[in-house]
């Protein structure tokens, strides 16, 4: 069904003169895995009326963005569920701006991330991202986010808030899924007279190169921190809000507007010391979140122990557009090397069980992706998949477990708020061991000096050529231990024999088999 849908999209784009670009899918099953990892962004509900499309897809705001950027070639990134309206949106923008538009159908990774690589394939000057977004910062192109507008009843939302927080002196931070961000201004006007200590989060529009440290060209609303002099401002996951510095963020509750999603999971894991309440606009119900964060954290801590037992680490590149992804890959490589482990780097697009099952020599994987896609449930995989923070927790002895959880890998880089320097090598570590909490076996915890840590040795030493490859490559060592290594020629090792006719028929009933 998927191939038929994309064929129709191409025909529609050709009829209106827009150019469609669809990235080739790695496997036919990738779309199913992507739907498991990323919640549905928006239900287009079929064709829209022109006025509805102009409002939902913010045609005028997008056209202003394109004209102010003076873009001649614009990439329009749509998730699969919004492709039904992509051709009409592209035609409208071309008619207003005169720019050439390119529709990016399939993204290489999660649809919540900006696919700058696909945009560069068509030499785009700027990119417009439609639908749900993780708001991860990009580095190459000016990006405009058009979230869409899912229906929500503000009166029901306000009533649910009053029920969940009967005390009007409560300190609460209101956050939402991006598809409901358009109601924050109206909700603030309804609740602020009753709840003076409530902070409303804003979308941080300065998290893309268009701003360059100056005021955004397209602000959605003013910063709430201006109404609380002396308050401290938090900027995280593309959102910003203020809170009382003396009370601390732990003294605030979190009120989330939206359905259960990776966004909610990411926020609850990061601010796990805050009590969360949610309002679901679909069911119009509010509730106290009873998900045991401690249980979820202990599950992630189990993966940290698995990482400590691992000898070969696979680094999965889950993004090519989020800022500093190359820096964190190098940081992970250095950490793995210092911990005395071996690492391989894999670039394979969207992940699935079959892909990772091809590399049995890898003991554990670390996924470099946006904060929302990093928390991958790997229970179905043959090897666990962890986050960069969990890898750093497993191999960096200087980092202590405090209960705080970090999903944004940029916070781990040198100079960032959560960076912890790797300890220096101690000669006494050569004999230091601890006990694995999973296998109960002793394991070494010594650090390995890297080549850059000291002067290189130029002495000539005889090396056993038979073991050279195995010592340098854990994959070669794993292959050497297998009884069957694939189709090998084995020249000179196999005796010469005459060719003879093989068996005929099908596997369930060969011709020479006697039917019982």
pTM, two decimals, is 0.74
- Note every long-range contact of 186-194, with CB atoms under 8 Å and residues 24 or more positions apart, other chains counting: 186/154, 187/154, 187/157, 187/158, 188/224, 190/154, 190/158, 191/158, 191/161, 194/162, 194/168
For residue 205, name the pLDDT band (cuts at 50, 70, 90).
low
Question: Bigger pLDDT: 29 or 271?
Answer: 271
Residue 79's nearest CA partner among 105, 108, 52 is 105
CA distance 268 to 254: 9
339 and 366 share one domain? yes
Given a cut of 90, whether residue 400 has pLDDT beyond it is no
Q: Is residue 372 in some structural domain?
A: yes
Q: Is residue 360 in some structural domain?
A: yes
Q: Which of 111-115, 285-289, 479-483 has the lowest mean pLDDT?
A: 479-483
Q: Is residue 253 in some structural domain?
A: yes
Given a cut of 80, whether residue 7 has pLDDT beyond it is no
Q: Which of 149-153, 164-168, 510-514 has the lowest mean pLDDT?
A: 510-514
Task: Please give the pLDDT value at position 349.
Answer: 80
Task: Please give the pLDDT value at position 418.
Answer: 83
Of the residues 97, 121, 146, the one at which a domain ends = 146
Pairing state between β 385-386 and 285-288: unpaired
Supply the DSSP string of 229-241, one letter for each residue: TTPEEEEETTEEE
Quickly list H helices, 339-464: 353-356, 371-374, 388-395
Residue 448 tokens, joined: 């390995």
Give me the number of domains the chain comprises: 3
Report how far apart, in Å, the C-alpha atoms of 75 and of each of 78, 103, 131 are.
Answer: 10, 6, 14
Residue 318's nearest CA partner among 461, 113, 172, 483 is 113
Task: Please give the pLDDT value at position 217.
Answer: 37
Average pLDDT, the chain: 77
7 and 141 share one domain? yes
Q: Is residue 6 in some structural domain?
A: yes
Given a cut of 80, whether residue 19 has pLDDT beyond it is no
For 438, other C-beta atoms within 10 Å of its C-beta total 11
DSSP state for residue 381 in the 8-state scheme: S
258 and 361 share one domain? no
Question: Bigger pLDDT: 303 or 2?
Answer: 303
Task: Please give the pLDDT value at position 100.
Answer: 94
Task: Please give the pLDDT value at position 2.
Answer: 37
Pairing state between β 276-280 and 253-257: parallel
CB 56 within 8 A of CB 82: no
Q: What is the pLDDT of residues 455-468, one digit of tens each?
A: 444 455 555 544 44
Q: Is residue 477 in some structural domain?
A: no
222 and 319 share one domain? no
Task: Please give the pLDDT value at position 94.
Answer: 94
CA distance 172 to 337: 44
β partners of residue 381 = none
Of the residues 245, 270, 291, the one at which a domain ends = 291
CATH code, 414: 3.40.50.11860
CB 334 within 8 A of CB 384: no
Task: Please give the pLDDT value at position 233.
Answer: 85
For residue 214, name the pLDDT band (cuts at 50, 70, 90).
very low
Q: Is residue 461 in some structural domain?
A: no
109 and 176 share one domain? no
302 and 447 share one domain? yes
Task: Please give the pLDDT value at position 30.
Answer: 37
CATH code, 139: 3.40.50.11840
Q: Which of 90-99, 218-227, 298-307, 502-511 has the lowest mean pLDDT?
A: 218-227
287 and 306 share one domain? no
283 and 384 share one domain? no
215 and 241 share one domain? yes
Task: Please give the pLDDT value at position 209.
Answer: 52
CB 279 within 8 A of CB 197: no
Range of the domain at 41: 2-146
Q: What is the pLDDT of residues 324-371, one digit of tens each?
A: 888 999 999 999 988 888 899 998 888 889 888 888 889 999 999 888
Of the residues 430, 452, 474, the one at which a domain ends = 452
For residue 438, name the pLDDT band (cuts at 50, 70, 90).
confident
For residue 219, name the pLDDT band (cuts at 50, 70, 90).
very low
Side by side, which strands form the sheet with 143-146?
Answer: 19-21, 100-104, 73-77, 126-130, 143-146
Q: What is the mean pLDDT of residues 371-391?
A: 88
Q: What is the pLDDT of residues 422-433, one digit of tens each?
A: 877 666 655 666
Question: At residue 2, what are phi and psi to the nearest 5 degrees?
Answer: -65, -45
137 and 168 share one domain? no
For residue 13, name the pLDDT band (cuts at 50, 70, 90).
very low
For residue 293, name the pLDDT band (cuts at 50, 70, 90).
low
CB 79 within 8 A of CB 41: yes
Q: What is the mean pLDDT of residues 104-113?
A: 80
Q: Can you tell me whether residue 160 is helix, strand or coil?
A: helix
User: How many CA atoms lie within 13 Å of 32's alpha carbon, on the beta-carbon side?
Assistant: 7
For residue 10, name the pLDDT band (cuts at 50, 70, 90).
very low
Q: What is the mean pLDDT of residues 294-317?
A: 86
- Note every long-range contact of 260-266, with CB atoms under 8 Å and residues 24 or more positions apart, other chains counting: 260/39, 261/39, 261/132, 261/177, 262/37, 262/38, 262/39, 262/112, 262/372, 262/373, 262/375, 263/132, 263/134, 263/177, 263/178, 263/372, 264/177, 265/372, 265/375, 266/237, 266/371, 266/372, 266/375, 266/407
CA distance 65 to 78: 17
Residue 17 tokens, joined: 């003169």
Supply the DSSP string of 200-265, one letter for each residue: E-EE-TTSSTTTTTS--SS--S--GGGGSTTPEEEEETTEEEEE-TTT-GGG-EEEEES-S-HHHH
Q: Is residue 491 in some structural domain?
A: no
CATH code, 170: 3.40.50.11850
Q: What is the pLDDT of residues 403-422, one digit of tens each?
A: 788 888 888 888 888 888 88
Q: What is the mean pLDDT of residues 87-93?
A: 92
198 and 233 share one domain? yes
Pairing state between β 232-236 and 239-243: antiparallel
Q: Which of 209-223, 372-386, 482-496 has the lowest mean pLDDT?
A: 209-223
For residue 45, name the pLDDT band (cuts at 50, 70, 90).
very low
Q: Can you tell me whether residue 341 is helix, strand or coil?
A: coil
Given a cut of 70, whether residue 189 has pLDDT beyond it is yes
139 and 163 share one domain? no
Q: Is residue 373 in some structural domain?
A: yes
């Amino acid at each position: 069904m998927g191939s038929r849908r994309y064929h129709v999209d191409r025909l529609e784009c050709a009829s209106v003169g827009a150019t469609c670009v669809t990235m080739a899918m790695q496997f036919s099953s990738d779309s199913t895995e992507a739907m498991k990892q990323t919640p549905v962004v928006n239900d287009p509900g079929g064709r829209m009326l022109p006025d509805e499309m102009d409002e939902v897809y913010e045609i005028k705001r997008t056209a202003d963005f394109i004209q102010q950027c003076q873009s001649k070639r614009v990439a329009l990134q749509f998730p699969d569920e919004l492709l039904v309206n992509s051709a009409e949106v592209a035609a409208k923008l071309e008619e207003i701006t005169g720019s050439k538009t390119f529709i990016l159908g399939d993204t290489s990774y999660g649809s919540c991330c900006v696919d700058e690589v696909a945009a560069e394939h068509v030499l785009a000057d700027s990119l417009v991202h439609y639908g749900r977004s993780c708001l991860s910062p990009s580095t190459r192109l000016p990006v405009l986010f058009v979230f869409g507008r899912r229906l929500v009843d503000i009166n029901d939302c306000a009533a649910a808030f009053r029920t969940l927080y009967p005390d009007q002196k409560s300190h609460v931070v209101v956050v939402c899924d991006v598809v409901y961000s358009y109601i924050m201004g109206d909700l603030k006007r309804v609740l602020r007279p009753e709840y003076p200590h409530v902070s409303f989060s804003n979308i941080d529009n300065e998290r893309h190169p268009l701003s360059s440290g100056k005021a955004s060209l397209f602000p959605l609303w003013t910063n709430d921190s201006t109404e609380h002099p002396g308050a401290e401002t938090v900027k995280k996951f593309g959102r910003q809000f203020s809170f009382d510095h003396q009370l601390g963020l732990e003294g605030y509750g979190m009120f989330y507007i939206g359905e259960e999603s990776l966004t909610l999971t990411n926020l609850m894991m990061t601010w796990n010391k805050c009590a969360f309440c949610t309002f679901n606009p679909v069911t119009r119900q509010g509730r106290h979140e009873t998900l045991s964060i401690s249980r979820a954290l202990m599950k992630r801590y189990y993966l940290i122990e698995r990482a400590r037992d691992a000898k070969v680490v696979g680094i999965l590149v889950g993004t090519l557009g989020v800022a500093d992804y190359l820096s964190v890959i190098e940081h992970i490589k250095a950490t793995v090397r210092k911990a005395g482990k071996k690492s391989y780097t894999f670039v394979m697009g969207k992940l699935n069980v079959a892909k990772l099952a091809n590399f049995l020599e890898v003991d554990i994987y670390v996924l470099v992706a946006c904060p929302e896609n990093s928390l991958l449930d790997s229970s179905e995989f043959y090897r666990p998949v962890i986050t960069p923070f969990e890898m750093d927790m497993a191999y960096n002895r200087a980092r202590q477990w405090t209960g705080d959880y970090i999903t944004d890998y940029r916070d781990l880089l040198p100079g960032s708020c959560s960076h912890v320097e790797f300890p220096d090598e101690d000669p006494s570590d050569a004999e230091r061991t601890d006990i694995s909490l999973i296998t109960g076996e002793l394991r070494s915890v010594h650090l390995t000096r890297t080549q850059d840590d000291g002067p290189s040795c130029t002495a000539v030493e005889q090396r056993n050529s038979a073991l050279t490859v195995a010592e340098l490559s854990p994959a070669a060592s794993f292959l050497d231990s297998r009884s069957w290594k694939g189709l090998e020629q084995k020249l000179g090792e196999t005796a010469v024999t005459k060719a003879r006719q093989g068996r005929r028929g099908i596997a369930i009933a060969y011709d020479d088999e006697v039917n019982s």
